[in-house]
Chains A and B, each alone.
Chain A
C-alpha cells in the first residue's frame, strides 16, 4: 500500500470518535469525482467544534501544526501534509452534513458532493483570483458531471459569490460546438 494511501487510512481511523466525520475535499476529492489531477494535498472539511479534538489527534499521529485559525489549519509530518478547513458557517456545515460516505480500501471515507466541491473551489477563487487552477477544476467538474449535477444548487453558490456571469461563461463553453 502506498504511503499516501497509508496516510489517509491512518487519518480516517483516527477520525473515529469525532462528532462529525470529516469529509475529503480538495484535489483528492476531485479524483473521487472522476477529475484526476496531480496533487498530493490531503484536505478535509471538519466540523469547527472538533478542531481541538482533531488537533490533539493529529499531534498524536506525529503531525506538527504550522498554522491554525478559526477557518483552517495546516499540519505537516515530514514530507506529508494534511490540511483542514473548518465548517462553522451555515453553508459549509450543510455541505459537511451532506457529504457522501464511501467504502474504500482506506476505510469509510466521506467525500464532499460535486456541488460542494465546486462551491469550495469558487470560494478559493474568490479569496484569491490568482489561483487559476480552481477555475480549471470547476470547469472539469461541470463538464464531467453536467448531466447529473444539481444545477440549481450550483447556481445558488455562484449567486452567493456574485459570480453568475462566470457560471454562464463556463456553461456556454460546454455548449459550444468544439466542447
Chain B
C-alpha cells in the first residue's frame, strides 16, 4: 500500500495537532516485588484484552546459530 501525499503544509503551521506536551517524565518507585507487579499488570491486561491476540509465526530460517 502507498499513500498519496495530499497534505503539504509546513509542520510549524500545524503543530501541535493534539497536544503540545504529555507531561513530565517521572518514574514511580519500583515495586518491592517485581513479580507481583508483573502479575498486577497482566491482570489489568486480561481485563482490557480478554481475547488474547494470535501469536506471531516464528521466523523460519536455516541461518540460526544459537
Contacts and interface: CB of A to CB of B under 8 A. Distances in A.
Given A2-B39, A31-B45, A35-B53, A123 B24 contact: no
Contacts of A73: 23
A157 B19 CA distance: 13
B3 A71 contact: no
B26 A66 contact: yes
A83 B6 contact: no
B19 A105 contact: no
Interface stretch (A3-11, A13-21, A49-57): A3-11
Interface residues of A, number: 66
Contacts of A5: 40, 43-44, 47
B17 A161 contact: yes
A2 B18 contact: no
A106 B43 CA distance: 11
Interface of B: 1-11, 14-24, 26, 28-31, 37-41, 43-45, 47-49, 51, 53, 59
